[in-house]
Amino acid sequence: MSIIRGDVQTQIQKATDVLEPFESKVLKTLFMIKYVKEFTPNIDNITTLLVGTIIDIDISDLKKQVQSALNTLINQTYIQKVGEQYEFLTNVEKDIEKEIKATEVENSEIVGELVNWVYDDIIKINKIKYAPNKQNYPFTRKLDDTIVKGREEELILNIMTPLNSQDYSTDRLIHKSMADNGLILALPSSYDFSQDLELYIKTKKYIPQKQGGNVSDNERNLLFNKANDNNKRREKLQNDLKEFISESKVYYNGKVLEISTKDVKSKIESAFEMLITSSYTYIGLLSKVYEERDISIVLNQSDDLLTGSDDALSAAEQAIFTYIQREKLSHKTITISDLLDYFQLRPYGWYQNAILTQIASMYMKQKIDLKQNSTALSKKEILSTLTNNRQFHTIVAPRVEVDAKKIKLTKDTLSELYPNASFTSTSTREIYDVAMSETTKLIAACRNFMNLNYPFNSAFQEIIDVLSPLEKLTTDTLFDEVPNMEDTLLDTKDNFIEPIMEFMNGDKRRIYDNVLSFVSENKNNLRYIDEPQKTVIEALSTLDKPYSGSHITKANQALKAIKDLLQPLIEQTRAEAIISIETVIKELQDNENFEKVPSEDRFKVIRPREELIETIKHTSSIDTIKQRSNSEALSDELNRGLEKMFELIPQDIVVPPKQATVRISKLTPKTKIILKNSDDVNEYIDKLKENLLNEIDSGKQVLL
Model confidence band, residue 662 (pLDDT cutoffs 50, 70, 90): confident
Bond before 347 cis per omega within 30 degrees: yes
Cα 194 from Cα 244, distance rounded (Å): 13
Answer yes or no: is pLDDT of 60 > 90: no
DSSP 226-295: HHHHHHHHHHHHHHHHHHHHHH-EEEETTEE-------HHHHHHHHHHHHHHHH-TTGGG--S---THHH
Cα 684 from Cα 675, distance rounded (Å): 8
For position 218, what pLDDT does the model report?
85
Answer yes or no: is pLDDT of 563 > 90: yes
Strands 375-376 and 368-372: antiparallel
Average pLDDT over residues 184-195: 92
More confident residue, 429 or 284: 284
Average pLDDT over residues 5-27: 80
Is 560 exposed, middle or buried, given 0-12, 13-18 or 19+ CB atoms closer than 10 A?
exposed
For position 704, what pLDDT does the model report?
65
More confident residue, 488 or 433: 488
Radius of gyration from C-alpha coordinates of the chain: 55
pLDDT, tens only, 590-640: 998 899 999 999 999 999 999 999 999 999 999 999 999 998 889 888 989
Residues in CB range of 249: below 8 A, 6 or more apart: 170, 173, 185, 186, 256, 257
Model confidence band, residue 670 (pLDDT cutoffs 50, 70, 90): confident
The SS3 call for residue 186 is: strand
Contacts 24+ apart (CB under 8 A), 225-232: 226/96, 226/100, 227/203, 229/80, 229/82, 229/203, 230/200, 230/203, 230/204, 232/82, 232/83
Share of the chain above pLDDT 90, in %: 65
The answer to whether 67 touches 43, Cβ cutoff 8 Å, is yes
pLDDT, tens only, 458-481: 999 999 999 999 999 988 889 999
Model confidence band, residue 385 (pLDDT cutoffs 50, 70, 90): very high
Cα 670 from Cα 564, distance rounded (Å): 40
Among 96, 50, 101, smallest CA distance to 75 is for 101
Cα 370 from Cα 375, distance rounded (Å): 8
Among 286, 305, 307, smallest CA distance to 297 is for 305
For position 61, what pLDDT does the model report?
87
Cα 501 from Cα 499, distance rounded (Å): 6
> Containing H/E element for 551?
helix 551-590
The answer to whether 702 touches 661, Cβ cutoff 8 Å, is yes
Mean pLDDT over all residues of the chain? Answer: 90
Share of the chain above pLDDT 70, in %: 95
Answer yes or no: is pLDDT of 296 > 90: yes
The string over 440-459, giving b where at least 16 C-beta atoms fall within 10 Å of a residue's C-beta and e elsewhere, is eebbeebeebeeeebebeeb
Q: Is the pTM of this model over 0.85?
A: no
pLDDT, tens only, 77-116: 888 888 889 999 888 888 888 999 999 999 999 999 999 9
Answer yes or no: is pLDDT of 302 > 50: yes
Model confidence band, residue 55 (pLDDT cutoffs 50, 70, 90): low
Average pLDDT over residues 156-184: 90
Answer yes or no: is pLDDT of 4 > 60: no
Structural domains for the chain? 6-89 (1.10.10.10), 107-279 (no CATH), 284-399 (no CATH), 660-704 (no CATH)
